[in-house]
Chain A
Amino acid sequence: MDEQKRILEDVRIIKSTLDSEEARLLLPPWAYFSWALVVAAGTALSYLLYRGMGFSGIQLALTVWVPAIIIGGSFEMVGWLSWLKKEELVLRTDWMQRMLLSFCGVVVGLMALGFSLSASGSGLAGFFVISLSICFMTLGSYSWKEVFYEAYLLLFIGVLMLLFANEGAAASLAAGFICSAGFAAAGIHLKILARRYDG
């Protein structure tokens, strides 16, 4: 009986250690809130410039969204570096390299697609929401699986927009605020998850 206890205890030790290491925060919640603010501001500004000054899609992309991505990306970079420092993570591990390569690939690919669609004058509302959903799905693969709630909700909304409300200023405005809300929701959700799992 002792040996059985011993074996079961070792299984428990290994399982609890692996469970605690299964997922990580990756980015502090405030970075999501800063993205939410940047996206909301960019959306409102785009709407005003389109309505008031007749900016085209590509003009909005270059004058509003490139700076917005730089500002939001800078906040994200600061957040990511602070997390890296706090967790003392080693860059030269398979996990870290897989995560960085997948995030960079997804973000660069989606941005290229977004600018290409914008230049061609296509409706982008559904694309924006689905893009954020894809980013959250990538995040969910490396962080806690509960992040997939936001990811699939955004995917569902994005597909609906793609089918029924993909064109026009109102659809873009709605998409921008949905993305902003998505970031804010993810930030709150990750804050709760971090408290639950990391203490």
Chain B
Amino acid sequence: MMDNLYTRFDSVFFEKTRLSLMTLLFQREMVTFNILKKKMELSDGALYTHLEKLIMAGYAEKHKEVAGMTVQTVYSLTAEGKRIFLEYIDFLKTMVTAMEVEHE
């Protein structure tokens, strides 16, 4: 089961904070750094590092956008990021179903 998990999804994705970040970006579409910081309760440095890892992996991107009342840097998922997130959701669904069958 885990082999399958690690073969299909890389280590960038496999970290609790980054999974939460991916979920938040998937749900909200575009989020500013300050809001991500507030929601995730992380320091600037820690959040920046996690976001940069997601950007380097091609799962997230940053660009300028009108957010609130000003132009700010916002983060969003790339098409690849959305694809891998949905794929992971499908994978989790399959695994949870398999676990339920196993327990019956």
User: What is the interface of chain A, defined by CB distance below 8 A to chain B?
Assistant: 2-4, 6-11, 13-14, 17-18, 20-21, 81, 84-95
Answer whether A90 and B67 are a contact pair too, CB < 8 Å, given A13-B16, A18-B23: yes
Point out which of A81, A87, A91 has the most chain B C-beta atoms below 10 A from its C-beta.
A87
> Across the interface, do A7 and B66 meet the contact criterion of CB distance under 8 Å?
no
A7-B92, A7-B99, A90-B74 known; A84-B27 Cβ under 8 A: no
Interface size range of chain B in the complex: 20 to 34
Counted as pairs of residues, one from A and one from B, with CB atoms less than 8 Å apart, the total is 71
The main secondary structure of chain B at its interface with chain A is helix
- Residues from chain A with a CB closer than 8 A to the CB of B19 are 10, 13-14
5 A-B pairs with least C-beta separation = A17-B23, A88-B68, A90-B30, A93-B29, A88-B32
B interface residues (Cβ-Cβ under 8 A, vs A): 1-2, 5, 16, 19-20, 23-24, 27-32, 34-35, 39, 65-69, 72, 74, 88-89, 92, 95-96, 99
Residues of B within 8 A of A18 (CB): 23, 27
Bound-state CA distance A13–B95 (Å) is: 16
Residue of A nearest to B21 (CB): A17
Q: Chain A residues with Cβ under 8 A from B29's Cβ?
A: 90, 93-95
User: Considering the chains assembled together, what is the distance between the CA atoms of A71 and B55 in angstroms?
Assistant: 46
In the complex, given contacts A4-B99, A14-B19, A21-B24, what are 19 additional A-B residue pairs having Cβ atoms less than 8 angstroms apart? A3-B2, A7-B95, A7-B99, A10-B92, A11-B92, A13-B16, A14-B23, A14-B89, A17-B20, A21-B27, A21-B28, A88-B35, A89-B68, A90-B29, A90-B30, A90-B65, A92-B30, A94-B29, A95-B29
CB-nearest residue of chain A relative to B34? A88
Q: Quote the shortest CB–CB distance from A6 to chain B (angstroms).
A: 8
- Contact residues in A for B88 (Cβ distance below 8 Å): 10
Cα distance A3–B24 in the bound complex, in angstroms: 24
Docked Cα-Cα span, A17 to B40, in Å, equals 9
A17 touches B66 (CB 8 A): no
Question: B32 to chain A: which residues have CB within 8 Å?
Answer: 88, 90
Q: Is the interface of A mostly helix, strand, loop or mixed?
A: helix
| Complexed CA–CA distance, A8 and B66 (Å) | 37
Can you list 10 contacts pairing A with B, beta carbon distance less than 8 Å? A3-B2, A7-B99, A9-B16, A10-B88, A13-B16, A14-B19, A88-B35, A88-B72, A89-B67, A90-B65
Which B residues are in CB contact (< 8 Å) with A87? 35, 68
Q: Would you give the shortest CB distance from A25 to chain B, in whole angstroms?
A: 14
CB of A9 to closest CB in B, whole Å = 8
A89 to B20, CA, bound (A): 19
On chain A, the residues within 8 Å of B20 by CB distance are 13, 17
A194 to chain B, nearest CB (A): 15
Please indicate the chain B residues that have their CB under 8 angstroms from the CB of A7 in the complex. 5, 92, 95-96, 99
| Contact partners of B99 in chain A: CB under 8 A | 4, 7
Point out the residue from A14, A20, A81 that lies within 8 Å of B39, measured CB to CB: A20
